[in-house]
Amino acid sequence: MLPYGRQSISEDDIQAVVDVLRGDWLTTGPLVSAFEAKLGEITGGHRAVTATSGTAALHMAYAAAGISSGDVVISTPMTFIATTSTASMLGARIVFADVEEDTALIDPDAVDALIDERTRVIAAVDYAGHPADYDRLSDTASRVGALVLDDAAHSIGSTYKGRPVGDLADLTTLSFFPTKNLTTGEGGALVAKDPQLAQRAYEFHNIGLVRDAARFQVPGEGAWHQEVHEFGVNYRLTDIACALGLSQLSRLDAFKRRRAEITRRYDDALADVDGVRTPIQREDVDAMRHLYPVRILDGRRREVFDRMRELGVGVQVNYMPVYWHPVYADAGYRRGMCPNAEAFYSEELSLPIHPELTDSQVDQVVDALTEALH
């Protein structure tokens, strides 16, 4: 089966990991700092804090934002559930804003209509690698003093109005799961523009430990001392993973080029195929395409999905609207709330895209899709 996404691991990547295993540090050593510094560099020059997953990074972001019971987070239903579940776990009430009909990104007009004084965070998702409209979301957020969060699990390497992902929102979270734009196995990171938010996220991911003597509340202890002011968790990424991440980062441009070539090949091959709508890209965006989500028209998505799987093409569906998950449905969220997201879900099919997919494999996918449609 051709997978819809997979990692690309080079001999240099392997060597980088092997070198760590021969060294002194397995975790929280120099490669964590080096990876974070490099991540910060390519995401707008802000502080990056690594984490054990994209989900962990989202949890850190909401904890750093001080989300607690009763706070409102406005988000998109067209995402993986971690975008909102990590806020729900802290007691937030999620208000789902519908998506734009064409991009499936959170609709700034919908956010504008829903925002109120209780809103603490607007959490956008750069679905498929395409950044949301952050200028408009930031304007809306500033009306009530809310923060903007960019769940950039799909979009490291993308730009919006010439600015890189990481520089588009107050808080940005990344995922380094193997299918993502770069991988550390499991892994993720948070990027924060405000150094205080970054520090809060850092302490939350490190059990809440405070090591800055100027802030100590327990006086008179020795050089060993550290103390906790707020509870935290252990979401620290290892040196082993960061060695892989650092090596992968040096390949990010090449990954982006290959993803762009595959996108063009699909765009060209599918332009005139009846019953399929190909994804669009806004003019002010340069997307590192994580997914290639087509829309299968005329109610045929299920049938086309099954047929393509039979033909050996590992298509995927991204995503069932988040509030359809029983954990939200049981809490009273009703179907029909975000019609554009539901319509998109009913037609969406993700075709394989990853840096090692060859041109002939792309053609094989196109042939399988054409056959499935006839």
Distance, CA of 30 to CA of 13 (rounded, Å):
17
**What's the CA angle centered on 173, arms 36 and 226, to 5 degrees?**
55
Residue among 149, 133, 136 nearest 67 (CA)? 149
CA atoms within 13 A on the CB side of 149: 30
Scan for tokens 């971690």, then name that residue.
82
CB of 154 to ligand PLP, least distance (A): 6
Interface with ligand PLP in residues 200-259 (CB under 6 A): none
Distance, CA of 203 to CA of 220 (rounded, Å):
22
Which residue, 53 or 103, has its beta carbon nearer to ligand PLP? 53
Interface with ligand PLP in residues 88-147 (CB under 6 A): 125
Piece of the chain touching ligand PLP by CB under 6 A; list 6-14, 21-29, 149-157, 356-364: 149-157
Tell me the H-state helices in 75-117: 82-88, 108-114
Listing from the earlier edge strand, what are the strands of the sheet with 276-277? 276-277, 292-296, 348-351
CB of 350 to ligand PLP, least distance (A): 11
Which residue, 189 or 276, has its beta carbon nearer to ligand PLP? 189
CB of 264 to ligand PLP, least distance (A): 23
208: left (phi over 0), alpha (psi -120 to 50) or beta: left
Piece of the chain touching ligand PLP by CB under 6 A; list 76-84, 207-215, 254-262, 304-312: 76-84
Which residue, 246 or 276, has its beta carbon nearer to ligand PLP? 246
Residues ≥6 apart with Cβ < 8 Å to 158? 126, 129, 130, 131, 152, 164, 165, 285, 286, 287, 288
Which residue, 13 or 126, has its beta carbon nearer to ligand PLP? 126
Which residue, 121 or 153, has its beta carbon nearer to ligand PLP? 153
Nearest residue by C-beta to ligand PLP?
A: 54
Do residues 155 and 83 make contact, with C-beta atoms less than 8 angstroms apart? no
Per the structure block, which two tokens stand in for 323?
């509030």
Which residue, 152 or 368, has its beta carbon nearer to ligand PLP? 152
79 binds ligand PLP (CB under 6 A): yes
- Among residues 4, 35, 62, 80, the one that binds ligand PLP under rule CB under 6 A: 80
Strands 276-277 and 209-210, sheet pairing = unpaired
The site map against ligand PLP for 34-73 (x = CB under 6 A) is: -------------------xxx------------------
Which residue, 154 or 236, has its beta carbon nearer to ligand PLP? 154
Interface with ligand PLP in residues 155-194 (CB under 6 A): 175, 177, 188
Total residues interacting with ligand PLP, rule: CB under 6 A: 14
Report helix, strand or coil for 32. helix
**What's the CA angle centered on 112, arms 110 and 113, to 5 degrees?**
65
CB of 11 to ligand PLP, least distance (A): 25
In the complex, the residues that contact ligand PLP under the rule CB under 6 A are 53-55, 79-80, 82-83, 125, 151, 153-154, 175, 177, 188
